[in-house]
Amino acid sequence: MKITPNKYFWIIVLILISLTIGCKKKQTSEPKENPPVETNTILVDSLATPETVALFQNLKSLAQTKVLFGHQDDLAYGVGWSVEDGRSDVKSVCGDYPAVYGWDIGDISSTSNLDGVNFENMKGWIKEAHARGGINTITMHLDNPVSGGNAWDNSEAVRHILPGGLYHASYIGTLDLIVDFLKDLKAEDGTYIPIILRPYHEHNHTWSWWGSNSCTVEEYNALWQMTVEYLRDEQNIHHLLYAISPQEIRTEAQYLERYPGDEYVDILGHDDYQLWSLGYVAQLGRTLDMIATLAEARGKISALTEVGVDKVPQSNWWTAYLFAALNYNENARKTAWALVWRNASESHFFAPYPGHASVPDFIMFYNNPLTAFENDLTDLYN
Ligand code: BMA
């Protein structure tokens, strides 16, 4: 087609008009917030803080050669003491703090948790542990959101707190208290302290309101997904790794029966309280092997998120039972950490304390090159 000079004129006029409109628009539009920056493609949270991504990656590589030792409520109390600066039964026994600290936010609407740990103190201990290079993991023994009973009240609740349920709004209120707690967890430099969150644990058992007798598979998965999406997408909490932890699992199929999906889980955990006979060592070893294999195939980490025998009845439990299970084979040895439950009193404890018969054996466990305590950790957050 032949373009006459007249046509050129009108084309130039049109270009000038649209450029002027474009400039005006730019000048008058509101300054835009920077879009969130994706930090990774491997975690549940693609916006996880750099420190959280570093924790996952460092823990994953450390797990190739070490099993970190963990203890619930380690800094809060022990056998015969409570709230003493710097004190820890584990440290009293072996001279070193655990590498992993377990905490629980059951009773989050009160000033203290279900085991009497003051929440402000808990925040302080989480900061202390993190400043020394340790890892913090949090469980949620939340009250039954429908009946108001405790976590062990397994009357039907999950379907009522899912979107559309009568108790959805009030459960979101509980999640908001958790958000407030998590937002207070900041290091000296102002960055958020990465936390391994372990919600709705032991869900294949029946004791809790999120357990297998109290909700369907679909309801359990929906609860987990709703929780992740609320914290991550609605509340912009980006300093969490999500760990799932069924109890005393034998097979892969059992493990994946109640499982919200790989996009919602970073760490494949396992809770086990059956390790009181030597005959069980190989069983736990096989389970750890299976979970490590499952985790490896999915680019995740495996962990023995809870283990122990109340009152540690065998004086060689640390080496002949726990270490033996962790050392079962090459895969079992890739378990990232093993955490024992709390030292409440002389009649309810899972870690040794000064004077306990298992102390010499625990020191052997401590000295074993496979185990790692706090002093063994290099900077996991960089
Ligand atoms: C259980 C016991 C209880 C405690 C609960 C939550 O195993 O230790 O005493 O309240 O864990 O920590």
Cα diameter, the chain: 102
Q: Which ranges in the chain belong to alpha helices (H)?
A: 5-28, 50-62, 89-94, 119-131, 158-161, 168-183, 217-229, 252-257, 281-297, 324-326, 359-367
Helix and strand totals (H; E) in the chain? 11, 11
Torsion, Cα of 199, 191, 381, 108 (10° steps) = -20
Tens of pLDDT, residue by residue over 111-156, are 999 999 999 999 999 999 999 999 999 999 999 999 999 999 999 9
- Contact status, residue 51 vs residue 59, Cβ threshold 8 Å: no
Rounded to the nearest whole angstrom, what is the distance from the C-alpha of residue 377 to the centroid of ligand 1? 28
Tens of pLDDT, residue by residue over 198-213, are 999 999 999 999 999 9
Number of Cβ within 10 Å of residue 33's Cβ equals 6
Mean pLDDT of 52-77: 98
Tens of pLDDT, residue by residue over 316-372, are 999 999 999 999 999 999 999 999 999 999 999 999 999 999 999 999 999 999 999
What pLDDT was estimated at residue 11? 60
Confidence of residue 36 (pLDDT cuts 50, 70, 90): confident
Tens of pLDDT, residue by residue over 178-198, are 999 999 999 999 999 999 999
Mean pLDDT of the chain: 94
DSSP class per residue in 297-363: HTT-EEEEEEE--TT--STTIIIIIIIHHHTSSTTGGG--EEEE----BTTB-SS--TT-TTHHHHH
Pocket of ligand 1 (CB under 6 A): 104, 114-115, 141, 341-342
- Which of 113, 115, 305, 345 is the pocket-test mutation for ligand 1 (most atoms within 8 Å of CB)? 115
Burial (0-12, 13-18, 19+ Cβ within 10 Å), 123: middle
Confidence of residue 35 (pLDDT cuts 50, 70, 90): confident
Q: Is the pLDDT of residue 262 over 80?
A: yes
Structure tokens at 101: 């600290």
Give me the residue spans of the domains in the chain: 39-376
- Contact status, residue 194 vs residue 240, Cβ threshold 8 Å: yes
Name residue 314's amino acid: Q
Name the closest-CA residue to atom 8, ligand 1.
342
Of all helices (H) and strands (E), which one includes residue 243?
Answer: strand 240-244
152/109 Cα distance (integer angstroms): 17
Q: Is the pLDDT of residue 309 over 80?
A: yes
Q: Is the pLDDT of residue 24 over 50?
A: no
Structure tokens at 86: 């710097």
What pLDDT was estimated at residue 13? 57
Top pLDDT among 335 and 1 is at 335
User: Looking at ligand 1, which atom is closest to the CA of residue 348?
Assistant: 8
- Contact status, residue 304 vs residue 338, Cβ threshold 8 Å: yes
313/343 Cα distance (integer angstroms): 14
Helix (H, G, I), strand (E, B) or coil at 280: helix
Mean pLDDT of 279-302: 98
Helix (H, G, I), strand (E, B) or coil at 139: strand
Confidence of residue 31 (pLDDT cuts 50, 70, 90): low
What pLDDT was estimated at residue 8? 65
Active site (catalytic) residues = 202, 306
Number of Cβ within 10 Å of residue 41's Cβ equals 7
- Contact status, residue 49 vs residue 238, Cβ threshold 8 Å: yes
User: Looking at ligand 1, which atom is closest to the CA of residue 115?
Assistant: 10
Class of domain 39-376: alpha beta
Mean pLDDT of 213-234: 98
What pLDDT was estimated at residue 190? 98
Rounded to the nearest whole angstrom, what is the distance from the C-alpha of residue 72 to the centroid of ligand 1? 10
Rounded to the nearest whole angstrom, what is the distance from the C-alpha of residue 138 to the centroid of ligand 1? 13
